[in-house]
Amino acid sequence: MADLITLTGLRVRGHHGVFDFERRDGQDFVVDVVLELDTAPAATSDEVGDTVHYGELAEGLAAVISGEPVNLLERLAQRLADVCLADPRVEAATVTVHKPQAPIPLTFADVSVTIRRVR
């Protein structure tokens, strides 16, 4: 069983969605990721270079969220998973993209899409 590194609640403004006003006005997206990897090398060395630097990971994810718009959360989640899996130490990544301000004309708490990708 792999170890886990979890980053939750990364909030970044993006312009994703199928409606013109979503692309124009933007909204906040909240992302959670769980990385599966072996953290034993970092535990032994106590060196950040032997693990996933979660600050750099957050910056890479934020660049995708604030970057080129997509229509669907599914596609955004895949792009974020690709960022996670760019580090060869990551065996699998679970990504949840929340869209708490989705254009739904009813009262709701959240809409999200979760994907898991394995190397």
Closest by Cα among 64, 94, 79 to 4: 94
In the residue annotation, 99 being an active-site residue is answered as yes
Which residues make Cβ contacts (< 8 Å) with residue 64, sequence separation at least 6?
76, 79, 80, 83
Name the catalytic one among 45, 99, 113, 119. Answer: 99
Closest by Cα among 80, 84, 51, 87 to 66: 80
Q: Which residues are catalytic?
A: 99
